[in-house]
Structure 1
Amino acid sequence: MSHLMHLKLSLERHLRTKPSRMSTVIAEALPERLPVEEECSSSYSPNHFYPVRLGEIFNERYQVVAKLGFSSNSTIWLAKDLHQWRWRSARYVAVKVNANPDDVKSAAEREFQVSQLLEGTKSRLVNSKPAGITGHQYAHILQDYFNLNGPHGVHFCTISDPLGESLEDLKQRLEGRIPLNLLKAATRMILRGLEFLHAECLFIHTDLKPESIRLTLGRWKPQAVARAERKTPRPQKKLEDRTIYTSRQAGDLNDLVRVVITDFGASVAGNDCFRYEHLIQSLPYRAPEVIIGAGWSYGADIWNLGVMIWDLLEGKNPFDSISSMNAASARKHLARLIGFLGHPPNDLLARGSDTHRYFDDKANGLTSSGECCAGGQAIEAVPRNFFYTRGRAK
């Protein structure tokens, strides 16, 4: 029996995909003093990040062939699946290597758990509804995970289909604004994804922003990315204990297949009969009901989408000057809201546990000194030249 098992394993190894040869081309060396990619984060610590090397094989299965991206808490890599049979087309996946602090690991584990719930809903819908109407293809679902032992701790890693750049990356590449026709198409896809998340999965994302919307890659794009990295490696910075690689741009407007919603680590279960009260959302994207403590639900995601569309189209988030959520910043945020949209609905103000901090009993806005701004006016006027469309003030 042991002989047969050994023969079986030997045959499988022979028939599976072989590791790729790594490039012999010398990459451009970046100065050691220059912060690169994940190093630019204010919270970056080299002890928190696993020192990934091109060519490294994770979990005895995934060979790293290129860097796809990074965040303040992770790096993302294109990897070749060595368990694919040799006679089939090479399979590539994205490996997200999360930083090792406990809170980062917990959020990553939470995201994988949510992904499993989304996958269960997707399977049920695919078997019960006509193809193409469920919206699941616009939600990025993780496929697997493994733990990676690093020099300073354990890193929780997830496996998924490879993705290209985020809408934030694309905006920066296009000089600050995404073309209207492309943004319209992306918005329709995001709405389909939110419909799947809200109506079918009963989940609220809670942190929708340009960084969490990513472009998918066409069927043959991963092979092209791997080939390009072999022929012309991206610049890298070599340090004593690690190499900091730069990401290879995988997004291309001509190859756009669809966009997908990612990063479900902060998602919560939705309930039409219940409103959450804890703080959510990145500060510039924070909804008014969250600020005043009025309770929030699915609508918080729709608010995020609206602010995100403005940001991507106009090249400027209307609330990007909000850098902290103390009382003064909250007043400033609400002031701009009123300047853009008019006075908040009275029923919303009535629900807010913190409304009294920003409005008097007649729903007039309060200044930082507690003085009233008559007529519900905001404590800060909106700059007259704030509204722009393609460089011209409205």
Structure 2
Amino acid sequence: MGWYVFAMARTRPVRGATLNATSTRFNLLQTEADGDWLDQRGDLDEAPVPLRTTVTVERPKTIISRNASPDIPFDRSINPYRGCEHGCIYCFARPSHAFHDLSPGLDFESRLFAKPDAAALLREELRRPGYEVRPMALGTNTDPYQPIEREWRITRGVLEVMAGTGHPVTITTKSDRVVRDLDLLAPMAARGLAAVCVSITSLDARIAATLEPRAPTPERRLAAVRRLSEAGVPVYVSIAPVIPAITDHELEHLVEQAAAAGATRVFFIPVRLPWEVAPLFRAWLDEHFPDRAGKVMATIQSLRGGRDNDPGFVTRMQGSGPWADLMRTRFAIAVRRHGLNRERITLRCDLFRPPAGPQGELFG
């Protein structure tokens, strides 16, 4: 299996990946770097030209994705968007762009897909006979509150369906834009129907700016945790991923700040580098942390059985070996010190009422 790599002459301003590469894993043909870069490649003696974000409308036939993974705490999810403009270099969802013959690199964060029919499709699926209720997860692949949600409001439409039917929902996001929907989330939470997980990888704004260049700052995310908590929405913090020699020293402080902001639960996951993500991550290290790139990768391999990635269930989320054991010990001590993870967040499934059919909506 080969790679066709198109390296940028310099790091793109406010983008995560430094490469635009197409994998042949799915027997796709070689593709070239994005057109607006090619149009102006003669300018590369100067600064790299800006990379435009484009959005393509996608019309799927269904909107609920299902999984049976034993190490994932949900069996259904909705992703309003494909690709993510936050540009997180470590994002495990990057390889999914190869299904569209696009690069998991810069294409993933600049050539996005939106599903404007999501709310309508959800109504159809929820009213099907025999539908069994379980909490619906939003933000499991790409962020439901990434910047384009400001205009497209697809996540908002999905939440309106959830609120109207009494369907439980969990949200995972790196964006403080989630507080925009407190008018829906707070009443749902009061009924035991909603919980939010805010992902905070680092408290260092400079590190966050290279790891997650278009995501809100750590300060804004902590403020979102505080606002959600004050509104009565159960909120927990995901410290994921933890990157050795770059963010691992912040673990205890992140737990402390999560507790201070009102989170009731917190968890961490060591960095994962599946397939196409590993070379992108290595190139990012060489660009931003050349002084420690070798140490970072050696430590990652030590907790992944000598490889860049461990795809095995359970171990992929926890890591193995001395480094992973030390992280778990440090984390457990910090959690106890700050009184977190004492109770599980349980959402109600008994309040669900299927949406009315077309006739009911017309004459109701």
Q: Is the pair's TM-score, using the shorter chain for normalization, greater than 0.5?
A: no
